[in-house]
């Protein structure tokens, strides 16, 4: 007799029934899903306000079943500050890429963190400006070819990558700041736990929280999805070490 069917995988309720616009193999979909699962598990979907960036995730508001606003390029942490300060009992998160957060939005992210704004930032680091077609980002690795570093990023003329988690974790307003990767199932599970801890930091009022997620961009990297995952493991992880850069004592005690 056949075993009764049991559903082992379905759309989180905090997701809308909308196919995403992301390229095949891109890890944005994974990151979105992890955030949606966490919001649902914490039971905060109906009091969450998301802040979408400018970049590939510009349409993030189509996919989460929460209120959403859409910020100008890089300004999501400032906009989130405005929302959170007038609605302190709501859950407010930004979802930003590396061009948005580490380039044009450097001022906003650093000061939101320094003020200890009780917001959560999901930071997608895929080492390039995805939406505009793969230009060099502050996170592009030395020697990495992009459409605006066609011979590979030359650190002599184009500078060095910025390690955001290391930098943000130096600020006293930060309650939680970690880097994770989305290149294999084990790391995806670790990433989900980190996202949960970031939102737990927020609902406990423990300050600014950020999860940096090393991500793929198969289309602009000119790689298959599988090779992109390998690239993250072999090249991104050594340049952007995974780890807990700052975890407040109070959040270390939280057991989920």
Partner 1 sequence: MAKELWKGNEAIAEAAVRAGLQAYFGYPITPQTEILEYLSRRMPELGRAFVQAESELGAINMVYGAACAGVRVMSTSSSPGVSLMMEGLSYIAGTEVPAVLVNVMRGGPGLGNIAPSQADYNQAVHGGGHGDYPRIVLAPASVQEAIDMMGLSFDLAEKYRMISMMILDGSVGQMMEPAEMPEMKPIVERNWDWATNGALNRERRILSSIYIEPAAEEVANLRLANRWKEVQANEVRYKEYFLDDAEIVVVGFGTAGRVSLSAVRAARAQGIKVGLLRPITVSPFPYEVIDQLTGQAKAFLVVEMNMGQMLSDVRLAVRGRVPVEFHGRPGGMVPFPDEILHEVQRMNGANLSVHADPINSWLARMAEVK
Residues that bind partner 1 (CB under 8 A): 45-49, 51-52, 58, 61, 65-72, 75, 78-87, 90-91, 107-108, 110-111, 115
Q: Cα angle vertex 63, ends 59, 69, to 5°?
A: 55
Minimum Å gap between C-beta 31 and partner 1 is 20
Backbone angles phi, psi at 129, to 5 degrees: -80, 105
User: How many whole angstroms from its chain centre is CA 178?
Assistant: 11
Nearest residue to 33 via CA among 173, 195, 199: 195
* Residue closer to partner 1 (CB basis): 21 or 252: 21
Minimum Å gap between C-beta 116 and partner 1 is 12
Query: How far lies 124's CA from each of 27, 96, 204, in Å?
Result: 9, 6, 24
* Residue closer to partner 1 (CB basis): 60 or 217: 60
* Residue closer to partner 1 (CB basis): 61 or 193: 61
* Residue closer to partner 1 (CB basis): 89 or 249: 89
Segments in 2-151 forming alpha helices (H): 28-41, 76-86, 98, 106-114
Minimum Å gap between C-beta 249 and partner 1 is 27
Minimum Å gap between C-beta 61 and partner 1 is 5
């Amino acid at each position: 007799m056949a075993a009764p069917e049991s559903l082992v995988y379905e759309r989180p309720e905090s997701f809308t029934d909308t196919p995403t616009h992301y390229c095949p193999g891109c890890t944005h979909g994974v990151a979105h899903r992890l955030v949606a699962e966490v919001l649902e598990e914490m039971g905060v979907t109906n009091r969450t306000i998301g802040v979408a960036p400018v970049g590939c995730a510009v349409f993030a508001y189509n996919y989460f079943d929460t209120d959403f606003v859409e910020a100008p390029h890089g300004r999501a942490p400032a906009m989130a500050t405005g929302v959170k300060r007038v609605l302190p009992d709501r859950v407010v998160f930004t979802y930003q890429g590396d061009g948005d957060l580490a380039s044009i939005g450097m001022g906003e992210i650093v000061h939101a963190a320094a003020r200890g704004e009780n917001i959560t930032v999901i930071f997608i680091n895929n080492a390039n400006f995805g939406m505009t077609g793969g230009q060099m980002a502050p996170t592009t690795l030395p020697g990495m070819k992009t459409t605006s570093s066609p011979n590979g990023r030359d650190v002599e003329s184009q500078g060095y990558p910025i390690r955001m988690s290391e930098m943000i974790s130096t600020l006293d307003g930060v309650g939680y700041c970690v880097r994770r990767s989305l290149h294999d199932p084990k790391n995806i599970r670790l990433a989900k736990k980190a996202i949960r801890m970031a939102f737990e930091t927020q609902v406990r009022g423990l300050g600014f929280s950020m999860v940096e997620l090393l991500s793929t961009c198969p289309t602009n990297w000119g790689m298959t999805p599988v090779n992109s995952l390998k690239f993250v493991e072999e090249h991104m992880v050594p340049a952007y070490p995974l780890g807990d850069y700052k975890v407040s004592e109070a959040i270390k005690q939280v057991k989920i």
